[in-house]
Each structure stands twice: as C-alpha cells, then as structure tokens.
Structure 1
C-alpha cells in the first residue's frame, strides 16, 4: 500500500464555497459552520483539509469570538475508515502544518475541545475514533486537562419556585462579583481554575482573568447576573445566566466556601434557570461541569438538566 503521507495535499479552504468539501467528514458542529463563517467567528484560512485526490482524509478548524485571533481548536476529524498508521499520520501532518500557519509564531496554542457522546467509552467504534484523535494530539505534546459533562434544561421541565431561603439581587458592577469569585476560586473543583492557580496566579488574579476573558464577552444584559444572599444580607454565592453565540447558558455559578454543605447550590441554580427560562423563545439552556465536580453535577440533575453529551479539553504546555 502506498503510504498516505506521500499522497496528501494539505491546504486551507479557498473560501466559504468549499464548505461542502470540508463537510465530507462530519461532526456535531457542522450545522454551525456556515453561520460562523458569515459572522466572522471562523475564517476559511483557519479551516484546513488533508486530501488524497478529492477525498478528505482529515480536517481541522479553529474558532474565535470576534475573528481576530483563533481562540479554540474545536474541529479535528479523521477518516476513520483508514487503517493505522495511515489515519494517525494523516492527522498528524495536517495538525502540524495547519497549526504552523494559523497560530501566530510565539503565541500559545489554543486549547483543543471535543464533544463526544455521553457513553463514548462503551461503544468500541466511537471509542476508537475518539482515542485516535487524542493520540494524535498527544504526539504534538498536548495533554488531557479535563472531561466535562454537557447538560441541557429543556422547555417544559419544571423549575422549582423560589424557596425563600435566599434573596437575589443583580450584580452591582465588576468589583461586586469579583469579591465573591476570588474566594470561590480557592479550593475550586474546576480544572481550568485549578490550572490557573497552579500556573502561579492568585485566586484574585484567576478570578479577574475569568471575568475579563470570559464573562464580559457575553452580549446579554448584566442585569441577568445574580448574587445570592441570606435574609440578613450576608453573601452566599452567585450565578451568571447569559447567552453565547448559540444558546442560553449558565455561564458561571459558585457558592462561597463558608456557605457550602447547606444545599444553597440548588437555590442559586434554580434562580439562574428561572432568569433564562423567562426570556422569549427559550427552548433549552446549556451548561457544563467537570466530571470530577460531583456536587455540581448532582445539582444540575436535581434541577432536571439532562446529560446529553460529554466534552474533553486538551492543552499544550508553553514549552510544547
């Protein structure tokens, strides 16, 4: 058999008109690609294919909020009908070639995120496909950061009425929320937060990073954000209901360390869900939590959120 590397043509898309070519391989984000290109969240030069003749044997794409720089590697597919080592070699060549062209020299590589079925380990075919992508990423120095549950509340699911145990008020500016985010960051079960702390950031610095890089990017009203308090005004936690480019989401939620263990997380999650469910035309609310954050996962389950998918995030250390 002639080796795949000698036959491959690796190149970016010539333009949106080649989206059909790109979609010779499939993934759950395919239905978003056309709109992403129109909005500037993706660019043709960030979408690459590895071709054997006219056949796509691997593809890769990056995403951004504003189209300025790639923020996330979120599409990486291989032709799973290919045998090994051809499949892995095709993917590796594409990954290395496209990354060198897309990611600015000296800049850290964007995180790789992948959605997978909730039972992906139980289906041998799906597991083989997922693990093939992981192996290819690892060959370039990436490591697994976290596996997460992706959760969904669906219209018609009952939302508990306010229990009256807490009072909720809108967030009064950046400092109001950061004053609670910083202590929540200490002892967090969130893998991204723990990675920020392990990198040398203080809890306050990690909270500021999350606020400035993530929360402020959501276009929805800040009036949706809520701080939870006891009847005497003592803070308990917070929730940030928002909407990203695709869905209403519970963007961030936390309970202060001193208030944990009393079930307040259910009250706070219910408030965030009520805020979003009250908006016009909401058919679903999305959320995610790390697989290891069992208390948070159980709270979502009690509120009627369904685990419809999993996701994993892989990262490259700066030296990679």
Structure 2
C-alpha cells in the first residue's frame, strides 16, 4: 500500500466542523446567516457534516455550508460560500472536497444562492469578492439561473386602505388554493416556476409547491386570503406566513383574466395587514429581477428593496 503524502505545514486543513462547539470557528468569516447557524444545527436545518471549513494556521480562510427544510434528509440549498482575500486556491479545494462529500454521487447539487448588496455590480468594495465566489461555483459546473430582489416592510410604514371592489376571505381549503395556484402559473414571470413547467403540468407544479412549501408553514391557515368580486368570483390570493426566520409574503397571485386592474395591490396590502396585526418586527418578500410588475407592487406598498439574491444551478 502506498503511504499518503505528508501534509505540508502550509497546506490548509479541509474538513467539516465536529459539532455545535465549532460554530464560532465556522463563523470566523462574516455573512448575514452567521447568527442563525447554532439554531439551525439544533433544529436539524443544518448538520455538522454539511458545514465545511478550510483552516490555515488555525484560522478559517474558506467555508461552505448547506441548508435543508425541517424534515429533509438531503440538503436543499447551498447557501454559504466564503473565501478570505488571497485564498482563492484554497476556496477551490474546499468547494471541490465538500461537494464530493455532501452531494450524493451522480446527484445534481442543490442550487447555490448568495445574498448580495443591491448595487453589487457597481460596488468596488463588494464586487471583487462576489466575482471570486462566482468563479468558484462556475469552476465546478454551476451556471447563473436567476437574480432576485429582496424586499422588507417595517412597522410604521403606512398601510393601504382596503380596495372597495373586493372582499377578502380565508382560503376555503387545499383544493381551492391549489386550483388558484394552477391558474396563476399561466403567464408567470417566476424563473423557478418556468423551470418546473418544463417537466410537469401546471397542476402538478402547484401541488408540489403546496406540499413542499406552503403545507409546512405552522402559522394560521386563516392568514391565507382570497380576494373575490361582489359576485363571489375569485381574482387572486395571498399567502401570509412565518417561516423559520421571518414573517413573509410567501406567495401572491392574480388569475390571468383579472390582471391589469390593480388587484395585486389589494392582495399585498391584505397580507401585509395580517402580519402587521400579528406584531411582527418586519416582513420579508422576494421576487425575480425580471418580474417588474411584482417589484413595482412591493415598492408601492412601502417595501424597501434592501438586498438581492443570485441563484446558480447545476445542469
């Protein structure tokens, strides 16, 4: 048997963390999710074997981390990748090693998602580091998928008055909501929905989103609202909820036949009103950069575009 080559003293040590006691080691590089890591480990949304570090002289110079939804057995998102300046080669080694260990052989890696400043392309302080991370994931076969706008509403922001044309009521049941979700996929501007529709029917796409996302929210179902005309015909719906971190507008849609009449504003105002009434400290929402009508609706409702997400997919 050939003996393993001895490690050079300057070579990085690349390994997963051993457990919650090494969260501080993992968090030596800054990122907005750092304050969530310990709780994510406790609740099973992250696992030590999914949190990798590259150490140089005892200091973390690169790291990679994966996240899952509660109850998942495999990682759902690759959402942490950081590399200290001057350690790009180590970052590449780390990513390649961690991907091979975390992702099941022959499986497609989870989508990579990175939070970035809204003006990251024009920001001389942010751009070089983000470009480094993009080069790392593209070097392992990832390609740009979509860029999304992140919005936030805070208490004290004025709420729109209810639209007198509409009545807002609770969603009747799963069947009603899945039916409405199926309809609003017609003409959708959402990149993830477009991708789903390449391989499945609108009905199946709606059912899977309901099962994999909406059904998992523990917040009250009577927060889910349908807007109806005086004759009872639904024009659209809004799903207000709390995920594991924030109050959110989880889903909002207008039926194709009723678009262009300003109903989206009434739906968004209702979802915002429900969450504001629950006393939440903030409300978060996201939409694709290309979905300009939805972005405009968030802006009209007083939501501030405070950040972006860039998504990369493996083919």
Counterpart for residue 47 of structure 2: 43
Counterpart for residue 5 of structure 2: none
Q: Would the aligned equivalents of 1:153 and 1:305 in 2 still touch at CA under 8 Å?
A: yes
Counterpart for residue 33 of structure 1: 37
Which TM-score applies when normalising by structure 2? 0.94
Name the SS of the counterpart of 1:125 in structure 2. coil
2:125, 2:13 → 1: CA distance?
Answer: 27
Q: Would the aligned equivalents of 1:5 and 1:90 in 2 still touch at CA under 8 Å?
A: no
Q: Would the aligned equivalents of 2:149 and 2:307 in 1 still touch at CA under 8 Å?
A: yes
Displacement after TM superposition at 1:107 (Å):
3.1
Asked if 1:151 is matched to 2:156, the reply is no
Counterpart for residue 223 of structure 2: 224
Counterpart for residue 122 of structure 2: 122
Displacement after TM superposition at 1:6 (Å):
7.5
Counterpart for residue 243 of structure 2: 244
Displacement after TM superposition at 1:106 (Å):
3.6
Counterpart for residue 312 of structure 1: 310
Name the SS of the counterpart of 1:163 in structure 2. coil
Q: Would the aligned equivalents of 1:157 and 1:304 in 2 still touch at CA under 8 Å?
A: yes
Asked if 1:113 is matched to 2:113, the reply is yes
1:191-270 matches, cutoff 5 A: 191-198=191-198, 200-270=199-269
Length, aligned pairs only: 307
Name the SS of the counterpart of 2:299 in structure 1. helix
Match of 1:57 among 61, 66, 83: 61
Displacement after TM superposition at 1:305 (Å):
0.3
Asked if 1:77 is matched to 2:82, the reply is yes
Q: Give 5+ residue unaligned stretches, structure 2.
A: 1-7
Q: Would the aligned equivalents of 2:10 and 2:56 in 1 still touch at CA under 8 Å?
A: no
Q: Would the aligned equivalents of 1:62 and 1:75 in 2 still touch at CA under 8 Å?
A: yes
Match of 1:14 among 18, 22, 36: 18
2:256, 2:55 → 1: CA distance?
Answer: 53
Q: Would the aligned equivalents of 1:241 and 1:248 in 2 still touch at CA under 8 Å?
A: yes
Asked if 1:100 is matched to 2:100, the reply is yes
Give the stretch that moved more between structures: 54-63 or 244-253: 54-63
1:166, 1:106 → 2: CA distance?
Answer: 51
Displacement after TM superposition at 1:58 (Å):
0.8
Asked if 1:284 is matched to 2:282, the reply is yes
1:218, 1:95 → 2: CA distance?
Answer: 32
Name the SS of the counterpart of 1:238 in structure 2. strand
**Alpha-carbon displacement from aligned partner over 1:229-279 (angstroms, at most 9, x marks no partner):** 111111101110000001100000001111111111001100111111111
Cα pair distance change 1:270/1:5, threshold 3 Å: farther
Q: Would the aligned equivalents of 1:249 and 1:286 in 2 still touch at CA under 8 Å?
A: yes
Displacement after TM superposition at 1:69 (Å):
2.1
Name the SS of the counterpart of 1:236 in structure 2. strand
Q: Would the aligned equivalents of 2:141 and 2:314 in 1 still touch at CA under 8 Å?
A: yes
**Alpha-carbon displacement from aligned partner over 1:119-163 (angstroms, at most 9, x marks no partner):** 111112201111111111111111111111100010111111212
1:176, 1:287 → 2: CA distance?
Answer: 23
Cα pair distance change 1:149/1:227, threshold 3 Å: same
Q: Would the aligned equivalents of 2:17 and 2:52 in 1 still touch at CA under 8 Å?
A: yes
Q: Would the aligned equivalents of 2:28 and 2:60 in 1 still touch at CA under 8 Å?
A: yes
Q: Would the aligned equivalents of 2:237 and 2:252 in 1 still touch at CA under 8 Å?
A: yes
Counterpart for residue 296 of structure 1: 294
Asked if 1:173 is matched to 2:169, the reply is no
